[in-house]
Amino acid sequence: MRSLVQQHRGRVVSTPGDNVLADFASVVDAVQCAVEIQQVLRAKNAMLPENRRVEFRIGINLGDVIEEEDSIYGDGVNIAARMESLAEAGGICISESAYQQIENKLPLRYDYMGEHEVKNIAKPVRVYRARIESEAAPPKLGEEKKPVGKRLSKAALGIIAVVVIAGAVILYQFVLRPSPSKTEVASKEKMAFPLPGKPSIAVLPFVNMSGDKEQEYFSDGMTEDLITDLSKISGLLVIARNSTFTYKGKAVKVKQVAEDLGVRYVLEGSVRRAGEEIRINAQLIDALTDHHLWAERYDSKIGQIFALQDQITQKIVSALAVKLTGSEKELAVQKGTDNVAAYDEFLRGWAYYLRFTPEDFVKAFASFKKAIELDPNYSRAYAALALAYQAGGTHGALLQALGTSWDEARLRTREYLQKAMKQPTSIAYNVSSQMYLRRFQHNEAISELERALSLEPNDPVGLASMGYTLTMAGSPKEAMEFINRGMRLDPHNPSQYMVLLGYTYFCLGEVAEAANSIEEALRLNPENVSIGVRLAAFYALLGRDQEARSVLETIRKKVFVGNLQYYMANLFFGDRAMADRYAEGLLKAGISGRPGGYLHVFKENQLTGEQIRTLLFGSAINGIFSGARWWINWKKNGECTWRGGVTSNSDRGKSRIEGDMICTKYEKNWWGLENCATVFRNPSGTFETKDEYIFAGENNLRTFSSVR
C-alpha cells in the first residue's frame, strides 16, 4: 500500500487503530490513487475464490487538519472518515470540497448523494460518489512503476482521503489478515504425490482482464511461456500446462490445487492488454502456510513484454531460493525473437494448434507462417510448423483441412525442422527425435531427446518421448523412470502415460501389468479406441483369446484396423525378440498376417553410410509400390533418374550420404523436398518380389532390389 501511495505523490502519515493515514500533493493525486487501488483490487479479486476477496471503501475530503509530529487530526479527517463510511464496498465517496477541485480534471463520472451530517461538524456535508465501473476510464497503464504489495484476506476495508490546504490524506482502514486456519492450508498428508526434495510449483492460467475474449490467447500464451521458462530450471519441479489449465475459468482454492498436484507453491495472476499497454499482476503463494512469498504488478508497453517475463521468472527463482546453473541463466532470457508482432502471432497460432480441430489447425498454420514473415529467423515458429505438420501427419481430418497428403506432411516436417535447427528449441529436438525414430535410428533419437531435456528438464512431452524411445530401443527399465517423471509433472493427463507404461511392462516381460495399464488408459480416455489393439494383443498372449477377439471386433466397428505389417511398421521396435512376441499377440488376437510377416528393420540388418554408397551409387534398383513398378538409376556422383510408379512418369534428382542415411531431392517428385532414409537388408526378401532391401524413410517403408 505504501508504495502505491508514494507513486501518486503521497506519503503514509500514520496507522491509527486499524487504519493507515497518508497525505498527497493534490486532490487529483488522491483521487487517482483511490481509483487505482480499486482497479488493482478488482483485478486481484477476479483471481480469487469468493471467500478470499477484498473490497475497499474509500472516502476523500479537502479540508483543514492539524499535524503534530507523525500524525494528523481535525475536521478534515472527520469528514473524510464520514465519506468512507458512506461509500459502498469497492466504491469511492468524495466531499463537495474535493469534488470542486476535480470535477472536470479526471475522466470520471459522479453521482450526487445529497447532504449528510458529520459528527462535530456544524453544517451537513454534500457527498458525491465517483464511478469506477466499466463506463469510467481507468487510469492509464504504465503510470506506476512499483509493486502493489501482497494480497489481503476478505475484510471490510475502508480508505479515507483528506486534503490539507495543498495536500490530501488517505486513510486505509483494514482488518489485518488472520493467521490461516488448518482448513485454509494444504496438507502434506492429503497431497496426491509426495512433495519432492526441491521446490515444486504450479502456474495457474492467468486471468484475461482485457474484457475481450479475443485476447484470451495472449493471457494463455503468457502463462505457458512462464511455465516453459520455469521448466528450463533443473532445481524446480514445474507442473505441466495440460494439468494446470484444467483449472482455467474455475474458482479454485490454492489449497486444492496444491493437494491435487502435489506442489508447495502456486502462482496465479492476471493480464490486461489495452492497445500497446499491458499490465501483469502475479502472486506466489506457499500453500503450506497460505502466505504470500511475493506479489507484484507490472505496467509497461507491449514492446517490453520479454523484459517483463524475465523479471517475473527471476522474482520467482529468487523467492524460492533456487540456484541457476550457467546455462540455465542463459536459457532463461532466450525468447527466439525480438519482434513482438511475430511473438504475438506465434501465441495466437499456438492457441489454435492446441485446440487440435481441422478449422483451428488451418488458422494455426496461417499464424505461424505470419510470424515467420515478420521475423524470418524466428526458430520457434519454424519448430511449431514442423510440430504441426508432424502431428497432422497422423490425423486424416487435419491433413484434409490443410489440403495436403500424409507424404507431404512428413516432408514438410523436415523442411521446417531444418530451419528451426539453426537455433534449436526443445520442441525442435523433440520433432527431430521422432523423425529419427521413424527411420529406426534409436540411438540418434535418444541423443536428440537428451538435448531437448537439457533445455527443458521439466517438459513432460520430452520425458514421455524419452520413455517410449528407450522402450522401443530395448531399455524398458530405464524408460520407466522417464514415464513416471512425466506423469508426475502432468498428473491430470494420465491416460497417455498409462499407454506408454503398457509397452514398457510388455518389454519387461510383465504382460499382465501391460494389459492392466492399457485397461486403465481406456477407462480414463474411452474415446481413444485404437489403443485397444494393444490390449487385444496382450490378452491373446495371456491366453484370454475370447476377450482379445471381442476387443478387436469392438474396435473394427469404430475405426480402421490394419494388418500385421501396418502395426509393426508404426511401433519401431529395435529388439527383435520383443517385436516377434508382440506380432505373435496381434496374430493370435485376429490381426491379419502371417508369422514373421513384417519388415525386419533391426539394427543387425542396417547398412552404414558407406555400404549404402557402395550398393546404390553407380547402380540401378527397382521395386513395387502400390502395385506399380519403379526404377532408379544412379551415377557415381549421386545424380539419379527415377521413372515408373502409378503415373509412369520420370524425374531427375541428386542423392547424398548423411551419416548412415541417403538423402535424395528430385526436381518434381516429393514436391521438390529432400527425403532421407536409412537402408536395411530384408533377410526374407527375394529378387523376384523386389524386396531384398528396405528404405526406412520419413514418410514410409519401401522395399527394393538391385537390378541384376
Mean pLDDT, to the nearest integer, of 411-428?
A: 95
Tell whether domain 603-706 is in CATH 2.40.128: yes
For the stretch 163-207, pLDDT in tens is 332 233 333 322 223 445 555 799 999 999 999 999 999 999 998
Q: What is the mean pLDDT of the chain?
A: 85
148 has pLDDT over 90: no
Instruction: Judge whether residue 160 has pLDDT over 50.
Output: no
Strand order in the sheet with 55-62: 10-14, 19-24, 167-173, 156-164, 55-62, 91-95, 125-130, 110-116
For the segment 299-315, the average pLDDT, to the nearest whole number, is 86
Least confident of 100-114, 397-411, 519-533, 620-634: 100-114
Reported as a single tens digit per residue, the pLDDT across 454-506 is: 999 999 999 999 999 999 999 999 999 999 999 999 999 999 999 999 999 99
Query: Model pTM?
Result: 0.76
Task: Report d(CA 460, CA 241) in Å as an integer.
Answer: 9
- The pLDDT of 50-73, averaged and rounded, is 69
Higher confidence at residue 434 or residue 52?
Answer: 434
CB atoms within 10 A of CB 321: 9
Instruction: Show Cβ contacts of residue 171 under 8 Å, excluding neighbours closer than 6 positions.
Output: 19, 20, 21, 22, 59, 77, 80, 81, 84, 158, 159, 160, 161, 162
Sorted by where each begins, the domain ranges of the chain are: 2-173, 188-331, 340-589, 603-706
| More confident site: 1 or 303 | 303
Indicate the CATH number of 188-331 among 2.60.120.1130, 3.40.50.720, 3.40.50.960, 3.40.50.10610: 3.40.50.10610
How, if at all, do strands 649-658 and 628-634 pair? unpaired
| 595: pLDDT strictly greater than 60 | yes
Asked if 294 contacts 284 with a C-beta cutoff of 8 angstroms, the reply is yes
Contacts 24+ apart (CB under 8 A), 658-662: 658/609, 659/444, 659/609, 660/441, 660/606, 660/607, 660/608, 660/609, 660/612, 661/439, 661/609, 661/612, 662/609, 662/612, 662/616
User: Is residue 318 exposed (0-12), middle (13-18) or buried (19+ Cβ within 10 Å)?
Assistant: exposed
**E strands, 331-458, where?**
none
Per-residue model confidence as pLDDT tens digits over 243-295: 999 999 888 889 999 999 999 999 998 898 888 888 888 889 999 988 888 87
Q: Backbone phi, then psi, for 184, in 5-degree steps? A: -90, -20
How far is 382 from 68, CA to CA, in rounded Å?
67
% of the chain exceeding 70 in pLDDT: 85
Q: Is there a shared CATH topology between the 2-173 domain and the 603-706 domain? A: no
User: 3-class secondary structure for 205-224?
Assistant: CCEECCCCHHHHHHHHHHHH
- CATH of 2-173 among 3.40.50.1000, 3.40.50.450, 3.30.70.1230, 3.40.1710.10: 3.30.70.1230
Average of per-residue pLDDT across 574-589:
96
**DSSP secondary structure letters along 556-573:** HTTS----HHHHHHTT--
Spatial contact of 679 and 662, defined as CB atoms under 8 Å apart:
yes
Q: Which of 69-83, 427-441, 604-618, 626-640 has the lowest mean pLDDT?
A: 69-83
CATH superfamily of 340-589: Tetratricopeptide repeat domain (1.25.40.10)
User: Per this entry, what is the length of the chain?
Assistant: 708
